[in-house]
Amino acid sequence: MRTTTAGDTIWLRRARPVPHAEARLVCLPHAGGGASSFRRWPARLPAHLELHAVQYPGREDRLADSCVTDFARLADLVTDALTPLLDRPLAIFGHSMGAALGHEVAVRLGRRGFTPAHLFVSGLPAPCHHRPGTVHLRDDEGLVAELRRLGGTDDRALDDPELRSVVLPSVRADYRAFETHRPVLAPPVGCPVTGLVGVDDPTASQAGMRDWAHHTRAAFALRTYPGAHFYLDGVHETVVADVVTALGPARRVNDLP
């Protein structure tokens, strides 16, 4: 498996390695986002829990790697990258596009006989609300307008032509993958699911978030926070605390019913 100089695989980043971690939390960024989206989280985690942030190709330290524009293929690749981590309980947190990807990965892990400890889906309604989109077909100005609408992207990067040329290709590729994706009916996952959303999110209603309850055979909970689509930026300490509380003590793989 291809690795980085830090010893992580090319798909996963650890800001704080925990050699004897009792459990792991895998975090999947939003469209156009990278592993650095979760850089402030490890300092807030208990000593037994290790965070692995997924690094999609085409951004940050994988800028030279070609983006993946097939969502199912991306889910397959991330699932494969997690295989070495399945010797311990593993929870999944995904925001926006990362939530859809996290669900697809949880389904794939279930097919392999592994039940995640928990699935956290943030800022994205349940798969039954997914509709085709055309943002990826817009010109650069149209793409920038969508990013400004959602917030969460530094205006300096959007205003500077050189920085914009670096940012937009991965954003467009991720939008293409997600907007052309057609979720397939899959059995509910066997782990608890928690939905998280900003109360002013223009893309994720609380009703749409509650429909995630239909995608688990275990418990479902909904958490709301002040803010819009990128509410995480303002309340990450609270979100991390809520994630840790939901996970509770580490449990062995597949101990869940």
When the pLDDT of each residue in the chain is averaged and rounded to a whole number, the result is: 92
Phi-psi domain of 57 (left: phi exceeds 0; alpha: psi -120 through 50; beta: other): beta
- The alpha-helical segments, DSSP class H, found in 160-231 are 161-179, 206-210
All residues at 6 or more sequence positions from 88 whose CB lies less than 8 Å from its CB, including other chains = 21, 22, 23, 24, 250, 253
Instruction: Tell me the pTM.
Output: 0.93
Residues annotated as part of the active site: 96
How far apart CA 2 and CA 19 sit, in angstroms, is: 20
Residues 87-130: tens digit of each pLDDT:
999 999 999 999 999 999 999 999 999 999 999 999 999 999 98
Residues 33-87: tens digit of each pLDDT:
999 999 999 999 999 999 999 999 999 999 999 999 999 999 999 999 999 999 9
Q: For each of the domains in the chain, give its residue range(s) and CATH number, in order of start.
A: 12-132+184-247 (3.40.50.1820)
Residue 73 is which amino acid?
R
pLDDT range class, residue 1, cuts 50, 70, 90: low
Q: Phi and psi of 139, rounded to 5°?
A: -75, 180
How far apart CA 94 and CA 29 sit, in angstroms, is: 6
What proportion of the chain, given as a percentage, has pLDDT over 90? 82
pLDDT range class, residue 254, cuts 50, 70, 90: very low
